[in-house]
């Protein structure tokens, strides 16, 4: 019997590909944004508003992840320079390999903003680096005001948090104060942007945040994949 | 929910190590699971039992060590262990703006193998 000390990251394949994705997209001088949320929070609808607003000055591309259907890609098809649907089958999150494959379908040099619409899920996407530059988490008002406390791992890593469907507040018993209190313990870095794709409230603030991140691209924190054996080995 | 894809990746690394050592059988596997990977150990055990079937690692038990998260405050630089179920507040400056330093990985620590002939020592192994 022999004991072999291995000490190797099991996620090295994903993390290595995520790093490659990040390097490719940084060299292409684009800003990659990973949109994460529960199903039905309004990721696709927000993109339907965001893409035309960015279009005059910026070329946008979208990678959409879903278990099944091409419905989201069809909704966004005419609104961006390129939209690619990734169907995961049973996969509950996108991974770096799927994003790498999606990047091969795009002319990255022509893209300014790449939006990655992750599979609707508040748990698993938190554990898989895709190579993105910015992580945006959506939380919609009908989901309830306790979701930040219930899913702290995802909200902790967000660079921006969008409270969507605020036009429904008048018919919901929703305490935004509770969301802010929970965020004061879990993430004080990310701005909380209240918005409604339906009414237009908050869209200007969201677009300003996006344009600011684009302007600062290349200067984003370099600690995206920190905390893994492979990144510690490089430090 | 993602334990299955993690178990599959783990099996790849296990079989690679076993192959490099010229093993005929994998007897046991030790893994460290970072708290931030949101892995349920019982679910990972079930997933491991499924993926190891009909491989060199068939029947090999999995020992799971859970690694707590360690964070570095981006504001004041302090290192601390957050209670990831509740708060990432820095005890020094009271902001929740952290870089995760530890607990964000899944590491295959060791593999116990049956190798042809008597066991022998070599770099990186124990008899």
> Do B2 and A223 make contact, defined as CB atoms within 8 angstroms?
no
pLDDT at A1: 84
Report the half-sphere exposure of A159 (CA within 13 A, side-chain side).
Answer: 18
pLDDT at B122: 31
What tens digit of pLDDT does each residue of A78-87 get? 899 899 999 8
The span from the CA of A17 to the CA of A30, in Å, is: 18
Nearest to A6 among B100, B110, B120 (CB): B110
Predicted confidence at residue A96, as pLDDT, reads 95
Residues from chain B contacting residue A126 (CB–CB below 8 Å): 36, 38
Interface contact B51, partner A, CB < 8 A: no
Sequence-distant (6+) residues with CB within 8 A of B99 are: A221, A223, A226, A227, B71, B72, B74
| B110 Cα to chain A: minimum distance (Å) | 4
pLDDT at B120: 35
The pLDDT of residue A126 is: 87
Question: Which CATH superfamily includes the segment(s) A12-212?
Answer: P-loop containing nucleotide triphosphate hydrolases (3.40.50.300)
pLDDT at B99: 94
Give the A window 23-52 contacts with B, CB below 8 Å.
none
Sites in chain A below the pLDDT cut of 70: 219-235
| Extended beta strands in A15-148, E state | 31-36, 60-66, 82-87, 113-117, 134-140
DSSP conformation letters of B52-113: HTTSTTTT--EEEEEE--EEEETTT--EE--BTTTB---TTT----EEEEESS-EEEEEEEE
Residue A231, pLDDT score: 52
The pair of three-digit structure tokens given for residue A117, joined into one six-digit string: 């619409």
Please state, as a whole number, how many other Cβ atoms lie within 10 Å of the Cβ of residue A176. Answer: 14
Burial class (CB in 10 A: 0-12, 13-18, 19+), B28: middle
**A7: part of which helix (H) or strand (E)?**
strand A2-9
Tokens 């360690």 correspond to B70
Structure tokens belonging to residue A96: 């770096």
Longest dimension (CA), chain A: 68
B19: part of which helix (H) or strand (E)? helix B3-20
- Give the domain ranges of chain A: 12-212
Ranges under pLDDT 50 in chain B:
118-127
Separation of alpha carbons A192 and A205, rounded Å: 10
What local confidence, expressed as pLDDT, does residue A27 receive?
Answer: 95
What pTM, to 2 d.p., does this model score?
0.88
C-alpha to C-alpha distances, A109 to A11, A16, A29, A104, B95, nearest whole angstrom: 29, 22, 7, 12, 38
Domains detected in chain B: 3-68+103-115 (3.30.2320.50)
Q: Are B96 and B87 in contact (CB under 8 A)?
A: yes
């Amino acid at each position: 019997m022999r004991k072999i000390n291995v000490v190797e990251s099991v996620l090295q394949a994903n993390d290595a590909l995520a790093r490659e994705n990040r390097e490719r997209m940084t060299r292409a001088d684009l800003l990659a944004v990973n949109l994460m949320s529960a199903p039905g929070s309004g990721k696709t609808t927000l993109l339907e508003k965001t893409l035309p607003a960015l279009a005059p000055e910026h070329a946008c591309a979208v990678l959409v992840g879903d278990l099944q259907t091409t419905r989201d890609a069809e909704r966004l098809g005419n609104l961006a320079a390129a939209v690619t649907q990734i169907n995961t089958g049973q996969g509950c999150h996108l991974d770096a390999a799927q994003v790498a494959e999606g990047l091969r379908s795009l002319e990255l040099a022509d893209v300014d903003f790449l939006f990655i619409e992750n599979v609707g899920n508040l748990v698993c996407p938190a554990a898989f680096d895709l190579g993105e530059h910015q992580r945006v988490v959506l939380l919609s008002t009908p989901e309830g005001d306790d979701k930040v406390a219930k899913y702290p791992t995802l909200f902790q890593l967000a660079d921006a948090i969008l409270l969507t469907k605020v036009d429904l507040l008048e018919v919901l018993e929703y305490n935004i104060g509770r969301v802010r209190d929970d965020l004061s313990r879990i993430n004080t870095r990310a701005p909380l942007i209240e918005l409604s794709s339906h009414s237009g409230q908050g869209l200007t603030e969201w677009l300003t945040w996006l344009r600011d991140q684009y302007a600062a691209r290349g200067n984003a924190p370099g600690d995206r994949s920190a905390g893994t054996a492979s990144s510690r080995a490089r430090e | 929910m993602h334990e299955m894809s993690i178990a599959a990746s783990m099996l790849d690394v296990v079989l690679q190590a076993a192959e490099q050592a010229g093993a005929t059988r994998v007897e046991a596997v030790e893994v460290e699971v970072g708290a931030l990977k949101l892995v349920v150990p019982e679910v990972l055990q079930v997933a491991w039992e499924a993926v190891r079937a009909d491989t060199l690692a068939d029947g090999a038990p999995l020992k799971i060590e859970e690694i707590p998260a360690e964070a570095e405050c981006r504001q004041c630089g302090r290192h601390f262990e957050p209670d990831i179920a509740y708060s990432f507040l820095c005890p020094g400056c009271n902001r929740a703006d952290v870089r995760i330093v530890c607990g964000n990985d899944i590491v295959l620590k060791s593999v116990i193998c049956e190798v042809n002939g008597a066991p022998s020592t070599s770099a990186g192994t124990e008899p």
